[in-house]
Amino acid sequence: EAGVVQSPRYKIIEKKQPVAFWCNPISGHNTLYWYLQNLGQGPELLIRYENEEAVDDSQLPKDRFSAERLKGVDSTLKIQPAELGDSAVYLCASSPRGETQYFGPGTRLLVL
C-alpha cells in the first residue's frame, strides 16, 4: 500500500513569492492534516480536514495561508506571499477517522 505522497520534496523561493504544496493521502483515509515543523521543533497542526470539510483551521494563519481539499482526496496548501519565517518543513498526514495518523515525508521550504 502506498504511503502519503507529498510534492515537491524541496522548494526554494524568494520572499514575497507564492508557493504551493501538494498532498495525496493514503487511499480510503477520510482525515487529512497539514502540519508545520520548524527546525528543532515538533510538528504543529495547521489544518485538519474530514473529507472535504476543514474541521479545525484555528492555527492556520489565514492572512497568507490557504488550503483546499477538493473531492475529499488530494489537498493543496498555499502560501502567498511567503515570508522568511515560513522556512520550515510542511508535513501532511492522513488517517481513517479517529485512528492513527500516517505522515508523509514532508516538503522542505526555504525562503530567501
Partner 1 sequence: AQSVTQLGSHVSVSEGALVLLRCNYSSSVPPYLFWYVQYPNQGLQLLLKYTSAATLVKGINGFEAEFKKSETSFHLTKPSAHMSDAAEYFCAVSDPNFGNEKLTFGTGTRLTIIP
Q: In angstroms, give the least distance from the CB of 81 to partner 1.
A: 27
Q: Does 25 bind partner 1 (CB under 8 A)?
A: no
DSSP secondary structure string for all residues of 37-72: E-TTS--EEEEEEETTEEEE-TTS-TTTEEEE-GGG
Whether 47 contacts 60, CB under 8 Å: yes
Options 77, 88, 91, 111; binder of partner 1; rule CB under 8 A: 91
Cell numbers describing residue 50: 474530514
Which stretch, 12-20, 60-68, 71-79, 95-103, contacts partner 1 (CB under 8 A)?
95-103
Options 86, 95, 109, 111; binder of partner 1; rule CB under 8 A: 95
**44 or 80, CB closer to partner 1?**
44
